[in-house]
Copies of this chain bind each other. A is one copy, B any other.
Amino acid sequence: MPIRILIVDDHPVLHEGLAAMLESEADFAVVGGAADAESGIDAFRKLRPDVTLMDLKMPGMGGLKGVRALREEFPGAKVVVLTTFRGDANAREAIGAGAAGYLLKTTLRSELVACIRKVHAGGRYLCADVSADIATYLGSEPLTERELLILAMIAEGLENKRIGTKLDISSETVKSHLTRIFEKLGAHNRTQAVHIALRRGMLGDFAD
């Protein structure tokens, strides 16, 4: 009996590419597909695939919450995240959300297949680039939610005072958050902090 696979990706081209790739493996069967996390979970309920391939950036709830929600409802679900972006933060969160595999879209067919096999067998698989990224920042403290929120507003170019107003806190508080953010990221000013955060995938990334 083949490994039954569900594909959740909103890029038609990629979606079909994956399907074509996987179908050509003798013991793989693509049993369904969806273009966003919500309908992906629906599809899972009906199909109960062995392995689910999920993109991170999708309309609606997004892939990260998708993984979390899916794993909450089906703790045994085996999910492989497949995304365009590097950066340790994305991968860490995905793994924290319960993903068993994490691949980049630059992955070779052979690696994709190997990953699915490994995950299906109950293992984990991270592609090399990503595990390297994670290793690089192993010791680094994660930002708190508040800090991430403020950093996101910084990234949009807001000034401390305006952020304070929006969050109903003093601009002094914003400053002290910022100081901690700089410490954690190793930045010396707000623009550099944004740069590092983008590189590490900590901010709601640009582009789809």
Q: How far is the CA of A159 from the CA of B189 in the complex (A)?
A: 9
- How many copies, total? 2
Judged by a CB distance under 8 angstroms, whether A10 is at the interface is yes
**Residue in contact with A16 in the complex, picked from B20, B85, B154, CB distance below 8 Å:** B20
Closest to A187 in B: B157
Tally of A interface residues using CB under 8 Å: 46
Contact B205 A207 (CB under 8 A): yes
Within 8 A of B (CB), among A19-48: 19-21
Residues of B within 8 A of A86 (CB): 207-208
Residues of B within 8 A of A154 (CB): 191
Contact B17 A15 (CB under 8 A): yes
Contact A16 B109 (CB under 8 A): yes
Q: Decide yes or no: A155 and B18 within 8 Å by CB, A13-B109, A13-B112, A84-B208 being known contacts.
A: no
Closest to A16 in B: B17
CB of A1, distance to nearest CB on chain B (Å): 25
Contact B195 A156 (CB under 8 A): yes
Residues of B within 8 A of A109 (CB): 12-13, 16
Closest to A157 in B: B192
Contact B85 A207 (CB under 8 A): yes
**Residue in contact with A157 in the complex, picked from B15, B87, B155, B188, CB distance below 8 Å:** B188
Residues of B within 8 A of A171 (CB): none
Q: How far is the CA of A109 from the CA of B104 in the complex (A)?
A: 22
Contact B159 A105 (CB under 8 A): no
CB of A103, distance to nearest CB on chain B (Å): 9
Give 1 or 0 for each of A64-91: 1 = CB within 8 Å of chain B CB.
0000000000000000001011110000
Q: How far is the CA of A186 from the CA of B11 in the complex (A)?
A: 32
Give chain A's interface residues, CB within 8 Å of chain B.
Answer: 10-21, 82, 84-87, 104-109, 112, 154-159, 187-196, 198-199, 205-208
A-B pairs with lowest CB-CB distance, top 6:
A17-B17, A157-B192, A20-B20, A85-B207, A157-B191, A13-B17
